[in-house]
Every structure is written in structure tokens, then in C-alpha cells.
Structure 1
């Protein structure tokens, strides 16, 4: 409706591929999901939008001397490398790092044409079959914290201003959400979380690294394993429950029935139902109680010191 004094307008459709629209979607992910899960959603949405084959994030240690991959989305059929670079020296990406520390995006349109000074970086990119790479730094409070980016593996791509703008806006949002003081979402405080070994969860082309102490419990789900995390999310990992039984350290994890394992430090309560004699475990941040089968009760009580 329109007249001379005012007008109303139907909702506008977002412009396809617009950097600001992608940032809007990123903001919604960060508002609706735990931070780590939201980062995965941002990468999974942005990768196809930019016609990339991979979308990724790596984080630095507090002295900017090493970095590790933490999140990765890959197009179907594209190899994932998120598990490869853990505590890697920054010297490996020195040519890239000199611009990232100054807040500049680095657009590599053709990996094979990089200058001699980028030889170590080029070697790593070629190992990953990269043809083009876009890297954008993630800052918070004036400090470089991480880097997010895109790779193409099928064909070289000349990155557009729209690609860079969208990634920069997402980097700003991720920086605020992951490293800012947002109580109950992400990391509290302003210091990076100390490095700990990561376990990688895989599902539908997405790979997410989590620390062992973030895993509350695991339950078998046919050929998959459902994993409850400390941020409130539940991830269906593509590996079978039996695989996880061999992966998890017995010092901190305890099997409680045929299809469930719990992290002992996250056990909030062990309850015995008087009427039925059934034993149940209550995990922190998990609403549902998990049953404890008879063969595992004594071992669980001993591990809990009761």
C-alpha cells in the first residue's frame, strides 16, 4: 500500500549470493545454536553459496606460534583434511600469516602460480588438491584468534568482492560469539581455550573437532552413534558404537549398558528406583535419564567412589 505520506511493502527476498544476506544467516545460526554447531552451519551454508568445495576454520594458540584445524565442511566426494593440521607451526603458512595478522583477506586465485616465498604453503595446498583458496582472519578485541576460508578443488576460481565481504562479516560475528564474554554460549572470558587433543565428529560432509571433556555421553543409533555435547547439541556421528568403545579412554568413560557410554565427570546423579529396582544416570545438561544395566552397576559405583 502506498500514499504520499507513507507506504508499506511486502517482505523482500534476499539477493542471491549477497554477502550481507549470508551474514544475516550467520547471525541467526549464532543466535539459535551453540557456537560450535553454528560455525559448522555457517560453513555448510557459505561453501555452496561461494561455489567452494571446502569451507573451514582454524584457530591459533595464544602466542600465534601454532594453529589447528577445528571445523570443516566438504562438498560430497571431496576429501576432508581437518584432522591433519594439529598444533602445526605458523611458519608453514608464513606467507599467508603476514597479511592475516594485519586483518587482510588473502585471495589465492591460482595455487600453482604462488610466488617462491609461498613455497611451504603451496606444498600443503597442493597436497590437499586445492586450486584456489580464500582466507579471512577472525579477530576479537584487536587480536587475531582464528581464520576461516574456502577452497576449490575441481577448478580454479577467481574470488569476488561478494565472497570476501560475506566471509569477512561472518568472521566478525564468529569472533564476537566465540571469543567474546557471552555467558552460556561459547567460551566465557576473553582468553582462548588452552589446546587439548581434539576428537573429530563426522556427519554428512561436515567435520567438527571437539575436546574429550566436551563429550557428555554416547548412545548407539543403528549404524550411527548419537553424541551429547556440553554445549547442548547432539551429533549423529557416522561411526558405529563399537568403534567409539575402542576410541574413548577408559580412564574417563564408562559403559553403563549395551548401547550407552557416559563421561564420568559429567554424571550429576545416580538414582535407584525403589519400586522397580532400576538404576538410572542423570548427566549434566541432558534432560533424559539413562538406564544402567545390572552388569555395569558395580563398576559404575566404584568409578564414582560410592
Structure 2
């Protein structure tokens, strides 16, 4: 494979300096994708707190399903295994998605959902923190890209990232304060992403917790109730027991008959006991 020549790089620079930077980035991604036989080429950007990530640009080959619309505002922890590899090796090549390690099964499931068979990614760091990923997906068949691809992609990554960085975080919409409808939480044990708004209550079960979501969905997770309390937005959730936390909007009423407090959730939901130590907090939150 011949290297990109001076005219190629002149075109790349011109596209990235054009007035419409997004269109320029997409043209560069298309050039790289066609040259290196990738089925999908993408740019991932992270917020400054390294909490969420966004797929900001994407090129797809004919017949390949775009994924950019599905990859907006995802929690960074969902890709922890990938991020560790990028930090350690400065690149990530997954030749066979089906052979990813067990600890990456959540990420593996997401990549398989996208139809990816092989993946190549290069990082861009700012002040020691991951700021961008730019990479290739192979969908039709597994790929093992040669070293020249890493070199050319690396050169392009630097140009793209610098152009986007200097423009600022345009296209990366931060979550508005209190926007729980957009929040997703990554389950470490199940590997799935759960919308915060779907969680009704969480209860302790030994070393695990059980997440009860709308539609009577139950999932287990190796997180304590205390840890959940620190993750979930406080304006939307209330600790009612050392072993339970509930979504406030799911509370229908409080029953205090017989000297024991119980919260009724939803019209046909359960009755959850309120621990005596939490009576004052529940009283304040429910306004009586």
C-alpha cells in the first residue's frame, strides 16, 4: 500500500480549514475509509470531566448502517476496558470482537449490536486525559490492518483532533442540569445501559443490589445501595432504608398505620418499608 502523498495531505488540510469544518472532517473520514477498506470511520469526543462521550462524526461505506445517532452522551465507564488499552498501548486493535475478554463483555455486546467484527482505534490525549478517539470498524469481515494504516491514520487523527479542539466543544451537547431523561447508567455485571428514568427502586441483596425498572424488569449488579445513592441524581431518588433507594416520582403514598411506615409505589407496585432512621428525610421530601 502506497503512503498518502503530498497532494492527498494538501487536500486534507484544505478540507479541515474550510468554513464548514464538519463537512471537512467527514470528507477526511471518507478518504481514509475508502483507502483503508474500513466499513465505518468515526470520531468520538469526551467531555472535560471524562464522564460522557459523543460520536460527533461518521462515514459509512455503502450498505453499512450508521451508528452515530445511537452513540450520544454515553457514560465513559461503559468503555473502560477500551480506554485502559488506549492509555497503555496508545492504540487499540481488536481483530476479533468475539474473542474479547470476559471483563469486557458489556462493551463486546454493544460492538456486536453494531455489527462490528474488527475494530481499530487511536486516541488523542489532552493534559493526560483522553479527549478523542478516531477509528475504523470492519463489518463485512474481520480485518487485521497493516502498520502503514496506523501511521497514516495517526497523522490524520492529529490534524482532525487539532481542528476540532480549537473550534471548541461544538456538537457535544452537555446534559442540562437535572436532565435525567438523557442519563444512562452502565451496569458492570450485565453490561447493559439503563436509563435513569426507568429505574423505580433498588434494593440490597447480599453482596449485590437488584434494580427494579419499569415493565417489571429486574437486573442484578455488584454495587451497594450507598454507591447507588452517590450515582443517582438526588433530586429524583430518595434513600428510604439502609437497603433501599426509590425514585421519588414513583411514590404513590405513605402508609403510617400501625406505627410502621411503608411507601406505596405506582398503582400496582410494591409496599416498601421505611427505616426509622430515614423517617425525617422522607417526611421532608414528601412535604409533611
TM-score normalised by the chain length of structure 2: 0.55
The Cα offsets for residues 197-223 of structure 1, whole Å up to 9 and x where unpaired, read as: 9xxxxxxxxxxxxxxxxxxxxxxxxxx
Paired residue for 1:151?
137
Confirm whether residue 195 of structure 1 aligns to residue 181 of structure 2: no
**Cα 1:49–1:116 shift into 2, 3 Å:** same
Task: State which of 155, 159, 174 in structure 1 corresponds to 2:160.
Answer: 174
Q: Secondary structure at the match of 1:16?
A: coil
Q: How does 1:23-38 map to 2 (within 5 A)?
A: 23-38=9-24
- The Cα of 1:46 is off from its aligned counterpart by 0.5
**Cα 1:21–1:138 shift into 2, 3 Å:** farther
Q: Residue 54 of structure 1 contacts residue 151 of structure 1 at CA under 8 Å; is this kept in 2?
A: yes
Aligned-CA RMSD value: 2.7
How far apart, CA to CA, are the structure 2 residues paired with 1:140 and 1:61? 11
How far apart, CA to CA, are the structure 2 residues paired with 1:39 and 1:146? 14
The Cα offsets for residues 23-68 of structure 1, whole Å up to 9 and x where unpaired, read as: 5543232133532222111111111111010001111111111101
Q: How does 1:43-62 map to 2 (within 5 A)?
A: 43-62=29-48
**Cα 1:196–1:153 shift into 2, 3 Å:** same
Q: Residue 92 of structure 1 contacts residue 120 of structure 1 at CA under 8 Å; is this kept in 2?
A: yes
Structure 1 stretches (4+) deviating beyond 6 angstroms? none
- The Cα of 1:122 is off from its aligned counterpart by 0.8
How far apart, CA to CA, are the structure 1 residues paired with 2:79 and 2:109? 10
Q: Secondary structure at the match of 1:62?
A: coil
Paired residue for 1:225?
none
Q: Structure 2 regions of 5+ residues with no counterpart?
A: 177-288
Q: Residue 22 of structure 1 contacts residue 166 of structure 1 at CA under 8 Å; is this kept in 2?
A: no
The Cα offsets for residues 155-211 of structure 1, whole Å up to 9 and x where unpaired, read as: 00002111111111111112221213xxxxx239xx9965269xxxxxxxxxxxxxx
Confirm whether residue 70 of structure 1 aligns to residue 49 of structure 2: no
Q: Secondary structure at the match of 2:140?
A: coil
Q: How does 1:123-138 map to 2 (within 5 A)?
A: 123-138=109-124
Q: Residue 19 of structure 1 contacts residue 165 of structure 1 at CA under 8 Å; is this kept in 2?
A: no
Paired residue for 2:210?
none
**Cα 1:23–1:110 shift into 2, 3 Å:** farther
Q: Secondary structure at the match of 1:107?
A: strand
The Cα offsets for residues 60-110 of structure 1, whole Å up to 9 and x where unpaired, read as: 111111101111111111111111121111121111011334571101111
Question: Which structure exhibits the higher relative contact order, with contacts defined as CA atoms closer than 8 Å and separated by 6 or more residues?
Answer: 1
* Higher helix residue share: 2
